[in-house]
Structure 1
Amino acid sequence: MSNSVSPTGRLALVTGASSGIGAAFARQLAADGYDLIAVGRRRDRLDALAAELSGIRVRAVVADLATDAGVETVARICAGEPLSMLVNNAGVAHYMPFAELPADKASELLHVKVVAPTLLSRAAVPGMIARGKGAIINVAGMLAFSGPAPIDRLPLRRAVYIGTLAHIVAMSQALNEELKADGLQVQVLLPGVVATEFHTRQGLDLTAVPRMSASDVVIASLRGLALGEVLCAPGVERADLFDAIAQAGLAAFGAQSPQLAERYR
């Protein structure tokens, strides 16, 4: 940890900070003057990241968010530190047919992408409300919108993974509506295919596939936060597409009736 004090007095906690998008967030936030709490599973990677960053304070926290103990450890930090920003970035993916997905792998996915973002946000929010400001960035992915895609378009079966991302989208949207009057912002970040180790760890070779850099994803996220975007999709030019999805969903929600729909009679 550096002895220097952040000139802005801002503190960010980033999960999954040892590589990929998380490391890119850590580097950009450090450049913007944030002190950091960098969370990951690999001590050597976190220590190397901390040594790389200068002029700010960096606290490395080793925790596995696939476990209850790991989530509890980081939740205590979120509750006890004056966080300006929480970046729920940690991720894992297990692509295989649903009937073949081992229960422990399904549990790992749900812990990392549902339980952890939910409970870490829950721990951080009261302090942010008390201070009248704060931002939460939840990293999901464009696959959140791919549920109805036919199997020939997405041959890699990943129903549970897609479900976790959809949870993050809906939770972030609802949470932003709930907290914006308290001065807080919630963003859900929706990258597409990104040039990181993420897919390599699943045994996939995507070197021939066009991919966005992790640093561009982070640039989009932080710029989107400044623009007040709740859904930030770095690779989607037409933001109005998300407005159309939202309006269609709200129209269906508002069209409910206590009467049985004609098509079911």
Structure 2
Amino acid sequence: MNKLTILLLFLVISACKQNSKPVKAEEPAQEEMSESKPQYPDALVKVFDAHGGLGQWKKQRTLSFVLPKSKLEETHTIDLWSRMDKVETEQFTMGFDGSKTWLLDTDETYKGDVVFYHNLMFYFYAMPFVLADDGIVYSETEDLEYEGKSYPGVKIAYQSGVGASSKDEYYIHFDPDTHQMTWLGYTVTYRSGETSDNVRWINYKDWQELNGVVLPKSITWHKYEGRKIMEAASTVTFEDVALSTTPKPNGFYAKPEDGNFTP
């Protein structure tokens, strides 16, 4: 290679270096990380506040109560954060370990559906706070009339696949003066796969305060014809209710060695 060729090559390389600019790799846009807060209807927020507030409820960890049934007393215990639970009687015990339901029933005395029943009374008892769970869709509903008084309300439905019965619907109606919950309407669609227009009605009027949270002492089912509520039919009383910010020990909700998981 002669000197002229080397000189020309040097000039080309120098020009390229002078004209080239460093290319900055394009970085992906940084999205702001903001904690999403559930949006509740204003009316429902007032109901929560009338019962002590969601903030106070979310501080609690363990709830327990006794159902003094005539044939077999039941003690229900629930971890409010994980929703693990346990129902104890003298004849059998059932529960949910966070993944599966289980039953300990050596004498095979329990004839019901564990999957359906293990947390059923908890949901009726922990109203209105369970209506703040994830996966809920809120909408308007007409007022409920009873004995000449009008009770405003909110309709609650669930996103598909949420819970064991995502096609269930709830209607919470509250006193317009105090905003305390007064009526709960609900449908039952468990295992049917079909929606239902048969709305059952429960009256909530007997309350107690525990750790700053207002929860029921008893609830009363009423006879009904559609949205026309008639006389009381049956009452369930909750005894020895305890609410605590302390969780139960690890394993409390686990399936016992002699128990069986349920389908």
The structure whose Rg is larger is 2
Report the TM-score, using the length of structure 2 for normalisation.
Answer: 0.30
Structure with higher RCO (Cα < 8 A, 6+ apart): 2
Report the TM-score, using the length of structure 1 for normalisation.
Answer: 0.30
Higher helix proportion: 1
Higher strand proportion: 2
